[in-house]
Amino acid sequence: MKKKIMAFIRNLTWTYNPSTEREASDATARNFLLHWFPAKTTTKSMSFGYSLALGIIIFTQLTILTVTGLILMFLYVPSVERAYWSIKDLQFVVPYGWFIRDLHRIAAQLMVATVFIHLVRVFLTGAYKKSDKIAGSYRPLNWWIGLVLLLVTMILSYTGYLLPWDQLALWAITIGDHIALSAPVVGAAVSRVLIGGTIIDQNTLIRWYVAHVFLLPLLIFALLFWHMWRIRKDGGLAGVEALGIERIKQDRVVAKGKTYSLMGVVTGVTPTITQYRVRGASVSSSPYVTRRILMIFVLTTVVTMALAFMIKAPLEQPASLMWTPNPAKAPWYFLWLQELVADTTIRLKGFTISGGLVGGIMIPTVLLLFAAAWPLLDKSPDEAIGVWFHKSRRLQNTAFLLVCAVIVILIYVGAVMRGPYWHLYMPWQHWIKMPTRF
């Protein structure tokens, strides 16, 4: 009876149950969707405590965004006369249109936040560091691809912000445009490319729409496939490095990768994943990894849908250049930049360097360059690769967390403590709501 119940539950949850390892490997290699997984995966790579499954969560959010985005494309009209009203129709006329819009909006916000948290986890586990234990591996490359993914994710979200063509959208874009304008020499040219002229109008809407629904998604998927392929080339997640080091300590020979040449066109060295085939250290990717990914996918989808029911996407009055909301705020993930812009104007004896240049361009560029150079500057030992808070990395982890804390505090100040004319208010102080139309 117990066996029957177990079999019933298994059938409900996952029908595929290979009887041998060979059958499991074959299933991975033969299946179109599964063949990009290795036949075996180390349990360390699968450990939730190591990766927090953030990459899969981001992937799920991206899938939700793609599906809901496609549905929205059938209903949204990218014209300054129609855009706002097509969103209104979605909210109030189209059956469940509000839900598709809310789901798209919340998934986008969550994705920006999760990508950032994923970056933090990768840094704190030293997973971007180069090691020569695995032939063909070069982990810094995936960190750099990740940095571009972060930028593309933020720009994707920002371009979507304009599309409802309401006051929130128009003025958030105006803030970004003013920051671009403060760049020396190229500022005016960059702004013209961004908004397609000198004022935000139909030209801006159509170029941001094309970037949002086509160019940036194309780029993000291309980068994502490269990101995933690099993880395989690197021999799995960085957490497995410790297994290799352990084997070397035990004086066990670490196998060299085999060189290959496909018709002389592509040459290379296979990752020596075999070295980690320690008993109990790896399992068949199918069904163990696939089942786990499916679970995280379903869970993330359910949580995101529940949040979409609870949190309504904002829609203010139609965009108008005739009146400015006070205060006008950028989307939350750019509020730390807006706050820096407000705080960093330097005045020296009649000579002024604008906050737009210092806080909006110079500081983020320096941060980005530092982040990009870090894998080459980090001299911590190989033992620190793929280990949370390794003792040799205490100083750099602390400095990194401090920078993250400052960014989070600036976002909080921008979101909660800035009132009309960007004056500072304590959380318990109230400001008078400025009229929205004159």
Instruction: Give least dist CB 144 to ligand HEM, A.
Output: 8
Residue 393 is classified by DSSP as G
Centre a 10 Å sphere on the Cβ of residue 10 and count the other Cβ atoms it contains: 12
Instruction: Give least dist CB 216 to ligand HEM, A.
Output: 11
Interface residue with ligand HEM among 60, 153, 282, 286 (CB under 6 A) is 153
Q: Which is nearer to ligand HEM, 51 or 354 (CB)?
A: 51
Interface residue with ligand HEM among 154, 231, 294, 307 (CB under 6 A) is 231
237 lines the binding site for ligand HEM (CB under 6 A) = yes
Residue 32 is classified by DSSP as T
Centre a 10 Å sphere on the Cβ of residue 99 and count the other Cβ atoms it contains: 15
Separation between Cα atoms, residue 399 and residue 391, nearest integer Å: 14
155 lines the binding site for ligand HEM (CB under 6 A) = no
Alpha helices by DSSP H, 182-257: 187-195, 202-210, 216-233, 241-249
* Binding segment toward ligand HEM, per CB under 6 A, in 91-99, 146-154, 253-261, 428-436: 146-154
Instruction: Give least dist CB 196 to ligand HEM, A.
Output: 27
Closest CA to 45 of 33, 35, 53, 34: 53
Q: Which is nearer to ligand HEM, 42 or 142 (CB)?
A: 142
Closest CA to 276 of 102, 6, 44: 44
Q: For the segment 397-416, give every residue that binds ligand HEM (CB under 6 A).
A: none
Interface residue with ligand HEM among 83, 106, 122, 242 (CB under 6 A) is 122
Q: Which is nearer to ligand HEM, 187 or 386 (CB)?
A: 386
149 lines the binding site for ligand HEM (CB under 6 A) = yes
Total site size for ligand HEM, rule CB under 6 A: 28
Interface residue with ligand HEM among 37, 39, 41, 59 (CB under 6 A) is 59
Q: Which amino acid is located at 324 in the chain?
A: T
Interface residue with ligand HEM among 147, 254, 269, 328 (CB under 6 A) is 147
346 CB-near residues (< 8 Å, 6+ apart): 352, 353, 358
145 CB-near residues (< 8 Å, 6+ apart): 223, 226, 227, 230
Q: Which amino acid is located at 289 in the chain?
A: V
**What angle do the packed helices 167-181 and 139-162 form, to 10 degrees?**
130
Q: Which is nearer to ligand HEM, 192 or 227 (CB)?
A: 227
Interface residue with ligand HEM among 28, 51, 300, 380 (CB under 6 A) is 51
Separation between Cα atoms, residue 11 and residue 18, nearest integer Å: 13
* Angle, CA 392 vertex, CA 389 and CA 395 arms, to 5°: 75
Q: Return residues touching ligand HEM (CB under 6 A).
A: 51, 53-56, 58-59, 115, 118-119, 122, 125, 127-128, 142-143, 146-147, 149-150, 153, 224, 227, 231, 237-239, 386
